[in-house]
């Protein structure tokens, strides 16, 4: 089966971190598990970053195509395709070989909304892409009679920072069936990836995930519901709970990070719905792509443990 993924939600961050990898990679891997062999992305925004990360699908043994606009290429009109809203990943039932048009709905608290996902003839896809969220109009326009399937399992979403934190919570709690991420479950609900520096004095409350090659300082506190991305540094005494720390992020000493999405020097507090850019490099910053190198981090940590925090700020 072929899948066509689209979104008109420019605020969605499809590269947002969910556990150890970008949300969009989880989406692709779930589709492949469901038997999809070709994936076409129709993304007016974020096309470059998504294409750079996913490539042409060779590493998964599938074909991935990135269109320059929101319209897929011409295809066999009789072919059945899977149409999906890229910013939302529902837990779809087994698609099998059915060719019957199907619309998938969220069914939560007696309110049903179309997820943006459907199986349909390829000839109907263009009208659905033009109809935004108005699936009723789209069905009437193409005279499509589709069955409705209501999903009560939680979905992953990258629509807003709040959705990203919720997606990580769902993943941490194992509520999304078949989701894959790297790491060893050292104690129930605590996953640690390879090459992590984790002193015995660190207090971890499940559920929690620590990505590969991350450095966690003495006496820091992680969790519950904390996700630390790969190659991150959390300095001694810092607390991270109900938060996601993105790949390559440095967090300074004795900080308290709660209900937040942190990526390099950008912090978004979802409880307050406020975003700030942190200018003090000794508080938060980047470790990758021209930021603070890991050699600097080793020096910073050693100096911090010696009690010379002022020298750290000057060095950065």
Query: Which domains are assigned to the chain?
Result: 2-157 (3.90.550.10), 182-315 (2.160.10)
In degrees, rounded to 5, the angle at the alpha carbon of residue 282 between the alpha carbons of residues 280 and 286 is 85
Lookup result for tokens 């000057």? 314
Q: For residues 198 and 222, is the Cβ–Cβ distance under 8 A? A: no
In degrees, rounded to 5, the angle at the alpha carbon of residue 15 between the alpha carbons of residues 8 and 158 is 55
Distance CA 6, CA 299 (A): 45
Q: Based on C-alpha coordinates, what's the Rg of the chain?
A: 22
Q: Tens place of pLDDT for every residue, the chain, 316 residues? A: 899 998 888 888 999 999 999 999 999 999 999 999 999 998 877 888 999 999 999 999 999 999 877 666 556 667 889 999 999 999 998 876 666 889 899 876 667 888 889 998 888 887 777 776 677 888 887 788 888 899 989 999 999 999 999 999 999 999 999 899 999 999 999 999 999 999 999 999 999 999 999 999 999 999 999 999 999 999 999 999 999 999 999 999 999 999 999 998 999 999 999 999 988 887 878 875 543 445 445 554 444 444 434 333 344 4
Q: Considering the entire predicted model, what is its pTM?
A: 0.86
Q: Cβ atoms within 10 A of the Cβ of 19, count?
A: 22
At 171, list the tokens: 């993943």
């Amino acid at each position: 089966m072929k899948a066509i993924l689209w979104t008109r939600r420019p605020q969605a961050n499809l590269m947002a971190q969910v556990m150890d990898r970008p949300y969009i990679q989880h989406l692709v891997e779930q589709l492949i598990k469901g038997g999809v062999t070709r994936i076409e992305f129709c993304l007016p925004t974020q096309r470059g970053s998504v294409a750079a990360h996913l490539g042409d699908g060779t590493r998964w043994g599938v074909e991935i195509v990135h269109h320059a606009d929101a319209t897929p290429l011409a295809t066999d009109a009789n072919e059945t395709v899977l149409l999906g809203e890229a910013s939302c990943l529902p837990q779809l039932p087994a698609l099998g070989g059915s060719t019957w048009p199907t619309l998938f709905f969220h069914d939560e608290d007696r309110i049903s909304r179309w997820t943006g996902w459907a199986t349909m003839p390829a000839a109907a896809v263009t009208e659905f892409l033009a109809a935004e969220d108005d699936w009723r109009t789209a069905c009437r326009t193409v005279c499509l009679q589709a069955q409705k399937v209501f999903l009560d399992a939680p979905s992953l979403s990258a629509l807003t920072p709040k959705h990203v934190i919720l997606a990580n919570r769902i993943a941490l709690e194992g509520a999304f069936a078949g989701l894959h991420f790297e790491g060893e479950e050292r104690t129930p609900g605590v996953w640690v990836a390879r090459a992590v520096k984790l002193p015995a004095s660190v207090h971890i409350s499940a559920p929690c995930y620590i990505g590969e090659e991350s450095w966690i300082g003495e006496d820091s506190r992680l969790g519950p519901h904390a996700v630390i991305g790969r190659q991150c540094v959390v300095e001694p005494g810092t607390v991270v709970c109900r938060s996601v720390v993105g790949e390559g992020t440095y967090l300074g000493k004795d900080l308290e990070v709660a209900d937040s999405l942190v990526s390099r020097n950008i912090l978004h507090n979802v409880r307050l719905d406020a975003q700030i850019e942190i200018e003090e490099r000794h508080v938060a910053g980047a470790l990758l792509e021209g930021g603070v190198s890991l050699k600097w981090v080793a020096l910073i940590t050693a100096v911090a443990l010696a009690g010379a925090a002022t020298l750290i700020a000057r060095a950065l």
